[in-house]
Amino acid sequence: MKNVKLYTETQRFNHPLLLSGFFLLGLFMLKELMNAFYSPDTLPGELTKEIVSFSIFAIVTIFILLMKLCTCIDENGVSIKFFPFHSKYVLYKWDDIELVEVKNYSPLKEFGGWGIRFGKKNSKAFSTRGNVAIHLTFKNGGNRIIGTQKASELNAFIAQFEMLNKLV
């Protein structure tokens, strides 16, 4: 088992549509702020409202852009870290896992979107974009869905890993 190469993947909320949406909304809010700042007949409350709105938007945008999902698979199990919510990796041990498969799912229908999401019957999803994920089914009945952007590479790694486990 020492020949098994480590699989790692890091994902971020960096979809071009999301980034362009943040950019366009930021430009609009900055324009409104500048209009309020340079307009001679702006009331002090309006300027404060624009400053607070733009500041909240900037903080939320930076927070979302700093989020990242790190996935690591090795001989110990499947580990994930969803920064900034996890300070260290959460390990799902092979002894606790009944089934591992890479398949499509519907993030909106099954979990209401992307990010850290809770579903039915002790299921939890971690994803940043897309609809392909590692499905971990546990012996105790729960499951975890971990998004991936490298489905073919992950399938090859899992096949290699399962073959080596049968030999050992």
Which residue is listed with tokens 């089934």?
A: 99
Gyration radius of the chain over CA positions: 21
Which pLDDT band, with edges at 50, 70 and 90, does 5 fall under? low
What percent of the chain shows pLDDT beyond 90? 38
Do residues 103 and 135 lie in contact, with contact meaning Cβ atoms separated by under 8 Å? yes
**Predicted pLDDT of residue 160:** 78
Do residues 11 and 128 lie in contact, with contact meaning Cβ atoms separated by under 8 Å? yes
Q: So where are the chain's domains?
A: 1-168
**Predicted pLDDT of residue 4:** 53
User: In angstroms, what CA-CA distances link 8 with 72, 92, 115, 148?
Assistant: 4, 15, 19, 10
Token pair of 89, please? Answer: 């990796």
CA angle 25, 65, 81 (to 5 degrees): 150
Which pLDDT band, with edges at 50, 70 and 90, does 168 fall under? very low
Helices and strands in the chain, H and E counts: 3, 9
**pLDDT single digits (tens) 101-133:** 898 988 888 888 888 888 777 888 899 888 899
Spatial distance between the Cα atoms of 74 and 147, rounded to a whole number of angstroms: 17
**pLDDT single digits (tens) 125-154:** 899 888 899 999 998 888 999 999 888 888
Sheet of 143-147: strand order equals 97-104, 132-138, 143-147, 123-127, 115-118
pLDDT of 1 over the 80 cut: no
**pLDDT single digits (tens) 40-63:** 888 878 989 999 999 999 999 999
- What percent of the chain is helix, strand and coil (3-state, nearest 5)? 40, 30, 25
Pairwise pLDDT comparison (165 vs 30), residue with the higher score:
30
Q: Full-prediction pTM beyond 0.85?
A: no
Token pair of 151, please? Answer: 């489905």
Residues 84-97: what's their mean pLDDT? 90
